[in-house]
Structure 1
Amino acid sequence: MAATKLIELDPGKYSLLLDAGSTQVDDIVADLGHEPNGYFWAGVARRLVATEVQHLDGRFGYDPEAGMFCAYGTDREALAELGGLLDAVASDGERIRAIVAEAEAEGFDFDD
């Protein structure tokens, strides 16, 4: 089951949503000392863009809240690609552990 949902709010304007606190890795995230909220997932998204899919940088914006991660923009393909990455991470405990460990080793702040 996908953790993210891509919706079209207005013609040509899209939002990628993830309901924080509803992923398969929430307990792992908490065990790692983080709050599995929308801000944490925005940090994960920023981290993925910076380290794995740099071609997505600048193609959408972020607007997280405590209960929800949101990325938005007009580039549906970029948001769909990010959604696929987040779906994979949100269901893979080893992957979220690796992302958090690498990020913390580099001083990255998830801002959660």
Structure 2
Amino acid sequence: MTIHLQDLDGERSLTWDAGGLVADAAVVAAGHEPNGYFWEGLVRFAWPDIAERLDFNSEAGMFCAVGSSRDLARLKTAVGSIVTSPEAVRDIIARAANTGFEFDD
């Protein structure tokens, strides 16, 4: 899995392909679809301070966030270890469930 931080035509984005990730089995076991919309929800829940400053353009097969270089770099650092850790994803999903957060997947 590769997280892409790119600058195209003055627009900065952070993307990764959804599906085929190490943490997908944990997402499915929790009753969710490991698509771009799920990962967007996870970001919105786990890092609301960063998410509130980003625009999202996720799709079923891809996560996409658009924003400043600083915010996207912070997000890349934060999610880099999460998307490869089923345990971390399970923990975030459980914390989200305890607060009533609903993923839009």
The residue type equivalent to 2:95 in the other structure is E
Q: TM-score, normalised by structure 1?
A: 0.86
Cα separation, partners in 2 of 1:58 and 1:105, compared to 1, 3 Å: closer
Identity value in percent: 41
- 2-structure distance, mates of 1:46, 1:37: 14
1:10-30 per-position Cα deviation (integer Å, ceiling 9, x unaligned): 13x211001000311011111
- Structure 2 unpaired stretches of 5+: none
- Structure 1 unpaired stretches of 5+: none
Where does structure 1 differ by over 4 angstroms across 4 or more consecutive aligned residues? Answer: none
Shift of 1:87: 1.3
The residue type equivalent to 1:103 in the other structure is A
- 1-structure distance, mates of 2:83, 2:8: 24
The residue type equivalent to 1:46 in the other structure is R
**Which position in structure 2 is the counterpart of 1:15?**
13
User: Is residue 36 from structure 1 mapped to residue 34 from structure 2 by the alignment?
Assistant: yes
How many residues end up aligned between the 2 structures?
105
Shift of 1:57: 4.6
